[in-house]
Structure 1
């Protein structure tokens, strides 16, 4: 049997887009003949993965996983919502979230990690693309750790535990990690899912964003024709309102509609040190199919 070298495997991967383990198996089956290996991959549907990689993937799932004082969240995209209900895809997202718990949020480290299937995350993803027939991508990951307390997780509209379209991590530092603290962390997660804050506190806001908002408010206030001294007070009041809209600690607690989030946390004797919110597909431009244009193109019009 011909020697299956790393260079040969690499060449086959580049030609087909198939996973490393699949390429090795194909070359073994083909006794090192790369063209025969390509044909073998094609018969198994594995060489098609590369062709699908250019298609927009904005559906899929957000997955969360947690352990003692640490939690992870990942987003894995596919082309259609149908795939999100596929058990193999759900199992994959669940596994990737658990991998992130161990290796952190670096995507390359996650992709290089080995799953129980014996494949790396990257190769398993390629295998799923070929099996299910849609482009899929591991888009992002987030991991929080606290020295004491909890990193709470919340998934809105979960398809099954830990998997859904919106996920939140809330890192809560506290002397203990009892049931009350865990419940509070979950409530923070629900609040974040509903209000979509852009920063934890005022100091975390992008100064450029604040200045842009201030400039807009100044121009709006000047249109009132009031004196500059009054305008300055109007702007400061509106800036405070802006903070209440986008800064988590300044927001009104959705669970009672009146208390500030910072006051809820202070009363509980805990500190919120970080949060993140993933909404499936946010920021991805979806291609809108123009059926009439497609027909015209085919017809040569």
Structure 2
């Protein structure tokens, strides 16, 4: 067996970033061949990454990269917030944002296949999974191109990121709008952009609510002996349409009351669209990413686990 010196272990550790014991085991397995040991650790890391791929990763960070022509936002996830703060994790997220901006890939699969130095982004991700011991995913990204007006970004800590571009308007307004998007989470630019599917789903909910309200009002009237007159169908239809209009306004940037209205001399309930018109401004596009949004997190009841173990 080759002599596995401390110097050789240290050299492999410097090369791979792995722990001392893992480096020593790899060198023992490859009889001191440092190149073979490094390759073995890389392959072992791939296997470990694949084994951890099914574990929920809902923590993480939003990384941003800015250029003269666009802004890129990337969400990279981990299982715990502790790992999301690690320097290597931050570096991976920053590299992902930088590559997304430079290459503007069409999908996450294309993004992770891009090379950053001597390895692809996915190879670096897998190596980091092996090193940090958690599932790590590069979940999604958006690239917002610059339009005729200013393009800005806003990060709320590391958990929420916004990129926004104006067709026309000044940078102060753009920054205030980005802050609004971070706070109020609009889904679309205007009511006209709400999909027919979303409206149909909301209409179904509202119709159910209205029917329940009508039934409860009728039951109460019968219970108290008061007369009850059912609302005409056309009145019910107008009620439903009004609620739909309210729904589309509440989820559109144009329809939401602007959080910075006081700075623009507007009333608190006046919509963003009014301020845009007053300033001769127009939004080209905005994107908001929030860490873990839409991921179903596993809730662990540790007390129940302990109680179950005690029974056993």
Q: Which of 235, 256, 263 is matched with 1:251 structurally? A: 256
Q: Structure 1, residues 56-90: CA drift from partner, whole Å, max 9, x if none?
A: 11111011221123111110000100012112211
Task: Output the CA distance in 1 between the equivalents of 2:204 and 2:134.
Answer: 46
CA apart distance, 1:46: 6.8
Partner Cα separation in structure 1 for residue 193 and residue 186 of structure 2:
11
What is aligned with 1:108? 109
RMSD value, Cα: 3.2
Distance 2:45 2:284 in 1: 47
In structure 2, how many angstroms separate the alpha carbons of the residues matched to 1:187 and 1:294? Answer: 47
Distance 1:46 1:122, change over 3 A: closer
Secondary structure, in 3 states, of the residue corresponding to 1:209? helix
Deviations 1:150-201 (CA, angstroms, capped at 9, x unpaired):
3321111x2xxxxx10111212112xxxxx7222222111111111212211
| Structure 1 residue matching 2:140: 3-state secondary structure | strand
CA contact (8 A) 1:70 1:150 kept: no
Tell me the residue number matched to 1:10. Answer: none
Distance 2:42 2:310 in 1: 31
- Report the Cα distance in structure 1 between the residues aligned to 2:44 and 2:269, rounded to whole angstroms: 60
Confirm or deny: 8 A CA contact 1:218 1:231 kept in the other structure.
no
**Who is 1:193 aligned against?**
182
2:157 counterpart of 1:166: no
- 1:288 matches 2:299: yes
Shift, 1:42, TM fit? 8.2
Mind listing any 5+ residue stretches in structure 1 that lack a counterpart?
1-25, 159-163, 175-179
1:50-129 correspondence to structure 2 within 5 Å: 50-105=50-105, 106-116=107-117, 118-129=118-129
3-state SS of paired residue (1:149): coil
Report the count of equivalent residues. Answer: 261
Listed as ranges, the gaps of 5+ residues in structure 2 are: 1-25, 218-229, 262-267
Residue 37 of structure 1, CA deviation: 5.8
What secondary structure, in the 3-state scheme, does the structure 2 residue paired with 1:254 have?
coil
Contact kept? 2:72, 2:141, Cα under 8 Å: yes
Larger mean Cα displacement after TM superposition, 261-270 or 57-66: 261-270
Note the C-alpha offset of 1:272. Answer: 1.0
Q: Give the deviation of 1:30 after TM superposition.
A: 5.2
Would you say the 8 A contact 1:62–1:76 is kept in 2? yes
Which of residues 200, 213, 216 is equivalent to 1:211? 200
The equivalent position to 1:184 in structure 2, one of 147, 155, 173, is 173
Point out the more displaced range, 61-70 or 137-146. 61-70
- Taking structure 2 as the reference length, what is the TM-score of the superposition? 0.73
Q: Highest CA radius of gyration, 1 or 2?
A: 2
Residues 113 and 295 of structure 1, relative CA distance in 2, 3 Å threshold: same
The answer (yes or no) to whether the contact 1:63–1:94 under 8 Å persists in 2 is yes
Q: Which residue of 1 aligns with 2:146?
A: 146
In structure 2, the partner of 1:263 is 274
Distance of aligned partners of 1:253 and 1:284 in 2 relative to their CA distance in 1, 3 Å threshold: same
Which secondary structure state, in structure 1, belongs to the residue aligned with residue 155 of structure 2?
A: strand
> After alignment, is 68-77 or 48-57 more displaced?
48-57
